Structure 1
Amino acid sequence: MKFSYAMLPDHPVQESLESIRLADELGFHACYAADETWHKDMWQLFAAAAARTSRIRFGPSLSSVVLREPTLIAQALATLDELTGGRAEGVLSCGNFGLLAQYRTDWRRIRPLSRTKEALHVVRTLLDDGAITYDGEFFSYDGLFTFARPVQNRLPVMLGAMRGPKSFEAAGKLSDGCHHALSYTREAYDYAVGHIRAGAERAGRDWRTLDIGAWVVVAVDTDGARAREAARSMVGIYASSMPEEQLRRNGVDPGELAPAVDAIAKGDLARGIELTSPAVAERLSVAGTPEECLEKIRREIEPSGVNHMICALTDRTLVKAFTGRELDGLADVNTQLRLLHDRIMSAWE
């Protein structure tokens, strides 16, 4: 099992750089960040982190092929790969539907999976060949080339998926893996991995060689109740992007969460947190003491074939930034990285 740190790049830049340096020192596989307008620019942040690190990999998880043209994603990945000496990788999707709505883009009208599959072909071609001529449904090029070249023989590019089944199958068939966001139950991962495997096998590929990542909200603290309260402060914000069928696979009735999601959509974050029950927060996070988090990973996530834990750490700075709540005493990001390393990751050594 690999472990990676998924950041929302909203901390002060120097603090983020120090956390990335620590994750590198501790042996985390990668540092990923959301490539979204809501946050600080992850490409510049990772470029600054390149010279301060030696092993950790970098990339977007994920980058939207609606908001960022896929040839520009390929160009940025190749440049980051050179800066890091061959440590870049990427995850593609149509992106955060809530963010798209703020751009007045209705995800139902953009054929998200077809667009993402075509964008994957574009990114893969430009990374591998340095040039592309292509006449597609969404993207077309005539001899477009770039001098931005990756260092790796094959820079990994995965797909991000939540709903399925076709998105999971496409990841298994076409890409280097799948980062499945915001699922926490054995049922959800059996469903996702089963379809990833089916897609891979139809293409004659060994599904076990793919990067099958669980992108999950994590809060870890020696005080389990404090960690669970931190997760509860963020769950409604994340859950607002989860399709109804995904909520059900995670044991959550969409109707139960709807009032919290509606309050958050109206900007009343305090009311949204109040309406998010501890039971729902428990189902939609990996939160608690290190031992409690380890037990949930072992019980609900690992048995399905997930080989990569992508930990979106929630600390007091993020809770304050997103909700205005003060959670004094909650472990900061660096403390949580050390707890993950010392008391969770060590279980797989």
Structure 2
Amino acid sequence: MAIKISVMLTGSHPMHDYIWMAGQIESYGFDELHIADDLIMRPAWPILTLIGHHTERITLGPAIVTPKIAHPVYHATSLAALDELTGGRAVCGVGRGGLNTLIGIEKPYKTTQMLREAVTVMRKVIARDATPFLGEFFSTTGELLLHQQPVRSEIPMFIGTWGPKISQLGGEIAIGIKADCVADPEYLRILRDNVHIGAERTGRDPSEAEIIIGPLCSISMDRTAAVSMMKQLLAIFLPFTSPMKEAHGIDDDCIRRANAAYLEGDHSKAESFVPDEAVRAFSLTGTPDDVIPQIEALVDAGATHIAFGPPLGPDFKESIRLLGEKVLPCFRSGT
């Protein structure tokens, strides 16, 4: 069962720690390393520059950047620079952003159109296409021409989403989608079917579309510690998971209580409000023997690429070792 297996890190770590973290991840043979570009942590582009300079093989990119925070031209030039630094090892996820409410964006307006235009503009910049573009959200003039010659005129981009409608866009205009926080095969099938609808809309073979699944991850030989860490993360993150939390029937009152307790500093109380169903729906949590069957079920449901998401586990070095030595080999050719 050969699929891509990757890792995502957030911007929560001290900057220089990313050097040895990326080194460990690359040494185990993971395919890609994604860096989250969350509003409340260190931004992705400087982290990617740092690890790009200290790695040799692994594909690198942000997952995801949002044109709501910075113009797509900025993201395009940053992506081209990363591709230059790494000798053509860059990839990029583009999405609406999961923490928009923190900057007062309660209901994103015409998200599909915004992302369609953003990807169009980014591709034009990287291809050094100076044809003017006039969109509803973004525009460029004929004078906008990247001064340097990019290493590649086209850099792979995927759409970051966990919603069905935008999954269609990923199948239509990008290499596919990345759906973070998804660990339920039934929900994955919904996203997969919508990616295929988008691919078929443009005459593309649906089997060529990438379905990258980025479940939250807490791996340890201490199952209790792994679950505890995951429930604490979910106490923070569950409020931002629509429409998945509704699809899984996660009680809003439990979400509010868990989040409030965590913000008040009572982490044990916060854990008590996070249901086990949320752990199963959004994450791969437990020992390697616990999560390998979950990954197999995700692959059977259509995942072509698994990207292990935060927090990875109670002990980073142990978690990466377990993933690299116990989990990764199960999904390589000939195994």
TM-score (norm 2): 0.91
Q: CA deviation at 1:262?
A: 5.2
> Is the CA contact 1:217–1:286 (under 8 Å) kept in the aligned structure 2?
yes
Separation (CA, whole Å) in 2 of partners of 1:227 and 1:181:
19
1:164-202 deviations in whole A, cap 9, x for unaligned? Answer: 2x2111110111110012121121011000110111012
- Decide whether aligned partners of structure 1 residues 219 and 80 sit closer, same or farther in structure 2, where only a CA change above 3 A counts: same
Summarize the Cα distance change of 1:260–1:216 in structure 2 as closer, same or farther, 3 Å threshold: farther
Corresponding residue for 2:319?
Answer: 336
- Corresponding residue for 1:145? 145
The equivalent of 1:163 in structure 2 is 163
Q: 1:14 aligns with which of 5, 16, 25?
A: 16
Contact 1:313 1:336 in 2 (8 A): no
Alpha-carbon distance in structure 2 between the residues aligned to 1:308 and 1:290:
18
Query: Structure 1 220/124 Cα, relative in aligned 2: closer, same or farther at 3 Å?
Result: same
Amino acid in the other structure paired with 1:86: G
Q: Find the counterpart in structure 1 of residue 245 from structure 2.
A: 247
Residue 287 of structure 2 aligns to which amino acid in structure 1? T
Give the letter aligned to residue 327 of structure 2: I
Identity of aligned residues (%): 22
Summarize the Cα distance change of 1:267–1:117 in structure 2 as closer, same or farther, 3 Å threshold: farther
SS in structure 1 opposite 2:170?
helix
Letter in 2 for 1:142: T
Give CA-to-partner distance per residue, 1:114-143, whole Å, 9 cap, x none: 111111111112112353411110111112
The structure 1 segments of at least 4 consecutive aligned residues displaced by more than 4 Å after TM superposition are 264-269
Equivalent position SS for 2:237: helix
Candidates 289, 293, 296, aligned match of 1:295? 293
* RMSD, aligned α-carbons: 2.0
Q: C-alpha offsets along residues 268-293 of structure 1, whole Å, 9 cap, x if unaligned?
A: 66353332133432332110000111
Residues 126 and 132, structure 1, Cα contact 8 Å, conserved in 2: no
Structure 1 residues 274 and 208: alpha-carbon distance in aligned structure 2, compared to 1, 3 A threshold: same
Q: Deviations over 1:183-235 (max 9, x none)?
A: 21121011000110111012111222222100110011112222111111111
1:79 & 1:269 partners in 2: Cα distance? 43
Deviation of the 1:49 alpha carbon:
1.4
Show the 5 A alignment for 1:70-109: 70-96=72-98, 98=99, 100-108=100-108
Corresponding residue number in structure 2 for 1:219: 218
CA–CA distance in structure 1, aligned partners of residues 169 and 312 of structure 2: 34
Query: CA separation in 1, counterparts of 2:125 and 2:258?
Result: 39
Q: CA 1:128–1:112 in structure 2 vs 1: closer, same or farther (change >3 Å)?
A: same
Query: CA offset at residue 102 of structure 1?
Result: 2.6
CA distance in 2, matches of 1:146, 1:130: 9
SS for the counterpart of 2:63 is: strand
Matched-pair contact (CA < 8 Å) for 1:130–1:148: no
Amino acid of the residue matched to residue 197 of structure 2? A
**Which letter does structure 2 place at the counterpart of 1:53?**
T
2:11 and 2:38 in contact (8 A); partners too: no
For structure 1, the residue ranges without an aligned partner over 5 or more in a row are 317-329
What's 1:327 paired with? none
Q: Distance in 1 between matches of 2:145 and 2:264?
A: 44
Q: Please tell me whether the aligned partners of residues 75 and 148 of structure 1 are also in contact (alpha carbons under 8 angstroms).
A: no
Asked whether 1:37 is paired with 2:39, we answer yes
Q: Give the deviation of 1:158 after TM superposition.
A: 0.7
CA contact (8 A) 2:9 2:35 kept: yes
Partner deviation per Cα, 1:244-268 (whole Å, 9 max, x = no partner)? x42244x333436433365269666
Residue 345 of structure 1, aligned match among 313, 328, 331: 328
Letter in 2 for 1:204: G
Q: Give the distance between the partners of 2:67 and 2:51, measured in 1 at CA.
A: 24
For 1:45-194, list aligned pairs within 5 A. 45-96=47-98, 98=99, 100-108=100-108, 110-143=109-142, 144-164=144-164, 166-194=165-193
Cα distance in 1 between the residues matched to 2:215 and 2:110: 26
Determine the structure 2 residue equivalent to 1:260: 257
SS of equivalent to 1:341: helix
Contact kept? 1:228, 1:282, Cα under 8 Å: no
Q: Is the 8 A contact 1:213 1:307 kept in 2?
A: yes
Residue pair 1:122, 1:132 contacting (<8 A) in 2 also: no
Equivalent residues, number: 328
Given the superposition, is the C-alpha separation of residues 264 and 59 from structure 1 closer, same or farther in structure 2, using an over 3 Å criterion? farther
Does the 8 Å contact 1:77/1:150 carry over to 2?
Answer: no
| Aligned 8 A contact 1:182 1:216 in 2 | yes
1:55-114 per-position Cα deviation (integer Å, ceiling 9, x unaligned):
111111000110011011000000000001001111111112x3x223223334x22221
Q: State the TM-score, normalized to the length of structure 1.
A: 0.88
1:151 to partner: Cα distance? 1.6
Q: Distance in 1 between matches of 2:106 and 2:277?
A: 32
Residue 47 of structure 1, CA deviation: 1.0
Equivalents in 1 of 2:266, 2:159: separation in Å? 30
The one-letter code of the counterpart of 1:19 is: M
Alpha-carbon separation, structure 2, partners of 1:176 and 1:119? 15
